A and B are shown apart, each in its own frame.
Chain A
């Protein structure tokens, strides 16, 4: 570890992995509820499990981004963090607030939770992914601003690299776009229109800046390729991201009451959205092929390459599959959307966080890389999780195609639940693929506890 204050990243990474495990457990519960509808009812209704599943995802990724920033920024800026104490305090505030929110979801009916947490003061709850009580949302803003203050002050006093500037833009963008979660008009169309300014402009906008910066940082470290080359690529990739992704928001404005011209803008620009992800894959492979050193951390290199490939498949290819308006007319809001969502989030964001953890955690534990046995187990977990996610996506896609055919496209369209019964085989297979994912996750966690002879190798 080059800078003492980088150590604050460690609790962030540990929390991220713990919450990730929680997310997967609730995913398995929901997957089972898809086929055994009354499983755990009424203790954990599907909507509660889903809220926990998606909110844990967002929170663990945020922990990963923040941990990644705390690790990366001192090295990039060549200076200690502005305030490691603030970083640790924010960790505990964010963790406790997040835990209380999840406990609230699970123990109190949602309507009661809304009432006791002041939803009547400003109604923001009950919208997909933004289910958090008002106090939690305010807490997120406060934590984000304090975090950004800490990071920005560090960058201001140190070396300003492209990687740290891009990361900073991504993180500021994340915080600024989240402010739209406080705007919830009675008019449903306006509500939905600006809801996407949080959701789409996060995941297909500013989050990709964070993704690019984290990936570029790891690639510099593990390949030893010249910074000028890597940072040039980074700028090209994020240019492509924002040029396609901002107007690409239009692919959500096809059927929610917005003007018809969005079908053109949204289709054309979002059809280009795979390009930055393709560039990212080419970038990662190119840099690894041109490597000037053999970094002992093979697992981190694997995660970096995997991020490029899976982000391209999940976000790029599976996004393109249903993004053109004439196709989306039939696929909108079906299991096709769910298939895309799963592989895109895993391939782009889960994997990049696991990548920075894979690179940074050994260093935080006082070694350049984990012992060989530990890395082998981590690489097993990589393949188990990644391959099972591919299968989850394929099964959901199959279910989605059948659903579209029976419910939307047919001359004699059938009712929703009637169709769901007919595609249940695919839901069962998805659930089993989910079990394999859990096994991969257990292997991943276990890899942190594997000891071996190389442990003496100093960082």
Chain B
């Protein structure tokens, strides 16, 4: 860097640049918030879906699975599992864990009630109907 570019100039560029991009980010965030009602499937948010989300969280499902591609990469994507497998399969699968197959990755048994299983399925159905710009590329997630 040449001698004419001083530390105080660098500092001013830092403050100016940072403030500008924070404001731009806030503006984009504001616009996103206006657009989201058309995309995020909020009309489907029922008590049951909220309960399902709570079960999803309090059993740390994200510790193995991804949801809309975010989470751990140890077990399948579940954002579209409702489309891939359907409600009955999902419930039966959760109930039959762990498989106990030697050497295979194991999912714990969570002892959910029927009502809780329905809530989880409702949450996964809601998740699958979010407008994700067509992600994932195919049904396998």
A415, CB-defined interface residue at 8 Å:
yes
Closest Cβ of chain B to A240, distance in Å, is: 9
In the assembled complex, the Cα of A186 lies from the Cα of B13 at a distance in Å of 40
Closest Cβ of chain B to A225, distance in Å, is: 13
A257, CB-defined interface residue at 8 Å:
yes
- Among the interface residues B7, B13, B103, B138, which one has the most CB atoms of the partner chain A within 10 A? B7
Task: Give me the interface of A with B, judged by CB distance under 8 Å.
Answer: 30, 33-34, 36-38, 41-42, 45-48, 50-51, 110-111, 114-115, 119, 123, 125-128, 131, 162, 184, 186-190, 192-193, 228, 231-233, 235-236, 238-239, 242-243, 246-247, 249-250, 253-260, 262-263, 265, 329-330, 332-335, 337-338, 407-409, 413-417, 420
In the assembled complex, the Cα of A38 lies from the Cα of B53 at a distance in Å of 27
B57, CB-defined interface residue at 8 Å:
yes
Contact A338:B7 (CB < 8 A) given known A38-B103, A123-B54, A243-B18 = no
The reply to whether B40 and A417 form a contact with Cβ atoms under 8 Å apart is no
- Nearest B-chain residue to A232, judged by Cβ: B7
- Can you give 12 contacting A-B residue pairs, CB < 8 Å? A37-B104, A47-B72, A126-B58, A186-B53, A188-B53, A188-B126, A192-B68, A239-B17, A242-B14, A246-B18, A256-B132, A414-B140
The reply to whether B40 and A187 form a contact with Cβ atoms under 8 Å apart is yes
In the assembled complex, the Cα of A233 lies from the Cα of B42 at a distance in Å of 47
Number of B positions contacting A (CB below 8 A): 74
Closest Cβ of chain A to B21, distance in Å, is: 5
Closest Cβ of chain A to B34, distance in Å, is: 9
Residues of B within 8 Å of A51, CB to CB, are 60, 63
Residues of A within 8 Å of B53, CB to CB, are 186, 188
Q: Which of B101-140 contact A (CB under 8 A)?
A: 101-108, 110, 126-127, 130-133, 135-140
- Nearest A-chain residue to B40, judged by Cβ: A189
The reply to whether B21 and A258 form a contact with Cβ atoms under 8 Å apart is no
- Nearest B-chain residue to A184, judged by Cβ: B57
Residues of A within 8 Å of B18, CB to CB, are 239, 242-243, 246
Closest Cβ of chain B to A393, distance in Å, is: 14
Residues of B within 8 Å of A334, CB to CB, are 73
Which of B35, B104, B127 touches A259 (beta carbons < 8 Å)? B35
Residues of B within 8 Å of A128, CB to CB, are 62-63, 70-72
Closest Cβ of chain B to A250, distance in Å, is: 8
The reply to whether A110 and B59 form a contact with Cβ atoms under 8 Å apart is yes
Residues of A within 8 Å of B22, CB to CB, are 246
The reply to whether B36 and A46 form a contact with Cβ atoms under 8 Å apart is no
Which of B17, B56, B66, B102 touches A126 (beta carbons < 8 Å)? B56
Residues of A within 8 Å of B89, CB to CB, are none
Fill in one digit per residue for B11-30: 1 if any A CB lies within 8 Å of its CB, else 0: 10110011001101100110
Contact A247:B58 (CB < 8 A) given known A235-B11, A414-B140 = no
In the assembled complex, the Cα of A50 lies from the Cα of B137 at a distance in Å of 27
Residues of A within 8 Å of B59, CB to CB, are 110-111, 126
- Nearest A-chain residue to B38, judged by Cβ: A259
- Nearest A-chain residue to B1, judged by Cβ: A232
In the assembled complex, the Cα of A249 lies from the Cα of B26 at a distance in Å of 12
